[in-house]
């Protein structure tokens, strides 16, 4: 399916859904637009959503390019956020030291979580799809247990840590908004990923193990090692994203810090054709949907869930894009 056909079709289905909900589609789309780009604060919020989506989307694309299906960005993001949040409440240090430590901690947490699936794949040949799906749920349960139980912050209510000290917050780009330097970090990361893929031997080996695993093996590329590294690095990116949400957006860790960024990321990565720079653009488009959907619900009375419905359809429609069918291993153990 051509992308523009898919886009027009999805818009038509979204409009139809609005009619079904008894709303005026024009008003619905207008409200979506108003809520996402209608003013400086709306644009800032859209950019917040853009950066929150960009990290896991790059993570998903990175693994996809190496022939691996990381359905676990959601769990890796949660673990990254958990590490940043738990460290952050206790860390007393100047901002210039605290913030890098928390971001690095988040990336490390995500990397470890991603590497579990990588090890399973590399060491035992276990399917990374099933592993990452299971690890998503285990991550949420573990985070819930830890912040309510052993790592509970005194005074915190519900499944979250207390508020991080101001020295642990990401510096804002626009005073009075939640827009922080996370956006810049995310965009730099996109360039970095592109550079790794296009200009380094490591990136070439990753792509080779994804596109032509048999040829790659014969050429002496260690496929299990590549699987382990790809999943760990992918997890690190998602975990870094979780850390930026904790230190930049919420200023605390909450178990439900992500409205499914790790899954929407799959749609973003596909729309962006697995190209890091196109993914930046796609993240902005999906960020608009995220930030505009509440206005759409309030003004045009369209339930905001229509957005995830359309995102799901987008994934199904775009699943036929070029990278498919390259996978030659069976599912399961």
Partner 1 sequence: MDQLTGFLTLSLVKAAPLIFAALGGVVCERAGILNIALEGQLTVGAFTAVVVSFVTGSPILGLAAGIAAGALCGWLLGFAATRFNVNQIVAGTGINLLALGGCAFGLTVVFGQPGASAEVHALGRSGEYALILVAFLAAAGLHVALNKTRWGLRTRAAGENPHALASASVDPRRVRVLATILGGALAGLGGAYLSIGELDLYSDGMTAGRGFIALAAVIFGRWTPLGATGASIGFGALAALQFVLQRSGIPSELMQALPYLAALAALTGITGRARAPKADGIPYTG
Residues near partner 1, by CB under 8 A: 1, 17, 20-22, 69, 71, 120, 123-124, 126-127, 129-131, 133-135, 137-138, 141-142, 144-145, 149, 260, 263-264, 266-267, 270, 303, 305-320, 323-325, 327-328, 330-333
Six token digits for residue 186: 């995310």
CA 174 to chain centre: 23
Minimum Å distance from CB 1 to partner 1?
Answer: 7
DSSP 118-186: HHHHHHH---HHHHHHHHHHHHHHHHHHHHHTTTPPTT--SSB--PPPGGGSPPBSSTTSS-BTHHHHH
Q: Minimal distance in Å, beta carbon 320 to partner 1?
A: 4
Pick 47 or 143: Cβ nearer partner 1: 143
For the bound state, the minimum distance from the C-beta of residue 323 to partner 1, rounded and expressed in Å, comes to 8
With respect to partner 1, which residue has the nearer C-beta, 17 or 99? Answer: 17
Closer to partner 1 by Cβ: residue 26 or 316: 316
- Chain center to CA of 112: 16
Residue placing its CB nearer to partner 1 in the complex, 18 or 98: 18
In the chain the first and final C-alpha atoms are separated, in Å, by 33
CB of 82 to partner 1, least distance (A): 13
SS3 19: helix
| Nearest residue (CB) to partner 1, 196 versus 306 | 306
Residue in 139, 171, 173, 137 with CA at minimum distance from that of residue 251: 171
SS3 call for 332: coil
Q: From CA 212, how far away is CA 295, in angstroms rounded?
A: 46
**Least distance to partner 1, CB of residue 98, Å:** 29
For residues 223 and 44, the answer to whether their CB atoms sit within 8 Å is no
């Amino acid at each position: 399916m051509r992308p523009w056909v898919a886009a027009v079709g999805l818009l038509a289905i979204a409009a139809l859904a609005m009619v079904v909900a008894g709303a005026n589609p024009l008003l619905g789309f207008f409200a979506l637009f108003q809520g996402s780009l209608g003013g400086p604060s709306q644009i800032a919020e859209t950019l917040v959503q853009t950066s929150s989506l960009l990290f896991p989307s790059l993570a998903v694309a990175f693994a996809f390019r190496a022939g691996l299906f990381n359905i676990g960005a959601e769990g890796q993001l949660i673990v990254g956020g958990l590490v940043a949040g738990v460290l952050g409440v206790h860390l007393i240090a100047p901002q210039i030291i605290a913030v890098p430590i928390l971001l690095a901690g988040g990336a490390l947490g995500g990397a470890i979580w991603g590497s579990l699936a990588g090890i399973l794949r590399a060491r035992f040949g276990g399917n990374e799809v099933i592993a990452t799906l299971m690890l998503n749920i285990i991550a949420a349960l573990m985070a819930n247990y830890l912040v309510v139980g052993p790592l509970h912050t005194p005074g915190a209510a519900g499944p979250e840590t207390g508020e991080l000290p101001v020295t642990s917050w990401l510096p804002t780009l626009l005073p009075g908004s939640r827009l922080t330097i996370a956006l810049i970090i995310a965009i730099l990361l996109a360039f970095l990923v592109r550079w790794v893929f296009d200009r380094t031997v490591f990136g070439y080996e990753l792509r080779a193990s994804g596109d032509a695993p048999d040829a790659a093996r014969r050429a002496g590329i260690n496929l299990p090692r590549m699987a382990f590294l790809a999943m760990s690095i992918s997890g690190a990116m998602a975990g870094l994203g979780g850390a930026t949400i904790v230190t930049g957006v919420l200023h605390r860790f909450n178990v439900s810090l992500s409205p499914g960024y790790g899954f929407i990321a799959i749609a973003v990565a596909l729309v962006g054709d697995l190209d890091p720079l196109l993914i930046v653009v796609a993240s902005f488009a999906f960020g608009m949907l995220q930030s505009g959907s509440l206005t759409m619900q309030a003004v045009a009375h369209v339930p905001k869930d229509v957005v995830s419905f359309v995102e799901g359809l987008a994934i199904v429609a775009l699943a036929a894009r070029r990278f498919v069918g390259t996978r030659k291993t069976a599912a399961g153990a």
